[in-house]
Structure 1
Amino acid sequence: MTQEIWQSRPADLYGRRTHDRLFNALWGAITVFGGMAALSRWTPSRVAPVSRTIAAVITKREMVTSDVVALTLADPDGGLLPSWTPGGHIDVQLPSGRRRQYSLCGVPGRRTEYRIAVRRLDDGGGGSVEMHESYAEGDTLLFEGPRNAFYLGTGENEALFVIGGIGVTPMLPMLREAAQRGIDWRAVYAGRSRADMPLLDEVLAVDPDRVTVWADDEHGRFAGTEELLAGAGPQTAVYVCGPSAMLEAVRVTRDEHADAPLHYERFSPPPVVDGEPFEVELARSGRVLEIPADRSALDVMLDADPTTAYSCRQGFCGTCKVTVVSGDVDRRGRTAEGDEEMLVCVSRANGRRIVIDA
């Protein structure tokens, strides 16, 4: 090897190749050290894993609607937070042990501060209520990320953003980036009333001529796909984020165009389709959980233990992946699962019972 490197060095003016003394010294040291390591069966110690958890201080708490709170986060020492892109989110670790996913809705790419907005759902899983009641200005908030599974495409020339309620949080930075890129974009923002639409003033501030606001109380009905997708041709990139009913209506309509680009993110898990009841046995405790046909294994596991790890609830992030001890898995997620793995947020059992390492 040394001879090959030596031969590859350029010749000097007299046709001779000059040795690099520093290189030779280093190469010799590596050779000796490697030989000693082999003789002593020495194994280098592994690098300690770096914690992904980040502590931020809440610098501002603002009620942007009657049921939506916006929290601004910053590094407690005044440093920069990790870089992020529009559509990105963080996984917040709540004091109760729950983990919840919230999109970043501040100025695209800004690292001196993050902003998230949370709608309170009193009949939800408890996370939104805890976000509203547990945090005040000056408190510390722990999170992991950011991550992004909802990017604004790099090759988009024409885009339509369909926004429903709290679905505005990932969309607002996308609108700002689309405007910066010079994309020919439009947005339809729908909600029960203008007062119930969080960050509506900021959406309109991007470019009011490109935004259509649909308030149900002004029209006496919900917006249909004709209003939501008005003017969207087969080549228009459509981005949608909002309630499941809105998302499904847009998805079905866009399916009429086989090649129409459609990008979406859910804020709630997709409905269980063609589900069959089954049992999940938790190998560590021996406890058996009954999973009904219309609920996911994760839903029932969260009932039993609210600290069960999860994030997207849609089968693409892999946070809820568990090891399968026995049983056959009906795999339904977008994240790859091995032969002995299962995404409990979407996948189900092929058979009556499945045993997982939990």
Structure 2
Amino acid sequence: MSAGAQAQRIQDLAEFSGVRDNPLVGYGLVVGLDGTGDQTTQAPFTGQSIINLLSQLGVTIPPGTNMQLRNVAAVMVTAQLPPFSRQGQELDVTVSSVGNADSLRGGTLLMSPLKGADGRVYALAQGNVYVGGVGASAAGSSVAINHQAAGRIPNGGIVEQEVPMKLGDVDGSLDLFLKRSDFENARRVVTAINQEFGAPVAAALDGRTVRLQMPADDNSRVTFLARVQGIDVNADRGPSKVIINSRTGSIVLSDTVTLTRAAVAHGNLSIVIDSNPQVSQPGAFSGGDTAVVPDADITVQQEGGALQVLQTSADLMDVVNALNALGASPQDMMSILQALKSSGSLNAELEII
């Protein structure tokens, strides 16, 4: 096995065409809250929703009624519909407040339809909301642990309509999509599949797509795809990368990052401006006015940084030790890495997010 490759199952490297989750979304009401629901004066849609719901249940609310519904919250309900889902299958759903509810703890989601991208209802959601956070308030002070405006309902959704899905085209072919476009990995996947079956059942179309020729029988197709998923491939790890998060100051290096010999000098320049206004007091009976005279002290400090040699490093630990020897902060390290990349000493792609 080469140093830049590692054995992985095709199931971890690729996915079959059309075999995917389908997002569902819906709108609903959570009731039974302990005074932590929406304020209808600021979230009028909550009041409108409860009026519409009660009218469907045969309860008429007189026009102009001011309902203070602090035990009700309007929420958005989301779920993922797995591939090959059947009617009656249960789904986990997530409930998120869309109003100004303080907490959904202890609430119950009323029956809410979940729709797909085509606007059709594919599932119904209902149940008790589980919230991981907790909070308390008294005398103007409050304390909260974790987020309380969102929660989950395990197995709170029931599939009502199936998504039609067919494996493969009319000619019996099915595309296998690599999660990362790479011509070398596509070649290795094709070679491993053909060796497994002893026949040319796989062919690469490009750096991401591998076309498979499947058996005609449904049961044989399932067995065929199961064997394909379990095949081990010595996949290439891809290009070396250094990822810099400019917002948090995080730096991540892949294990194939290398350095060539370079010299780096690092120093900090700080400018401090200290304002010390002075009060000028006139003499007695002079007729003058008291005045404030501005006085500022400006200090420039520069830390010396001698050139330090970074030796050629082919191992990630050697690269880390060489960079740590500079004694730079993460923010300064970002500038050093960009300079090393510009000089050609850093053998990796630099990605800033």
* TM-score, normalisation: structure 2: 0.19
Instruction: With the length of structure 1 as denominator, give the TM-score of the two structures.
Output: 0.19
Would you tell me which structure has more strand in proportion to its own residues?
Answer: 2
As a proportion of its length, which structure holds more helix? 1
> Which protein, 1 or 2, shows the higher relative CO under an 8 Å CA cutoff with sep ≥ 6?
2
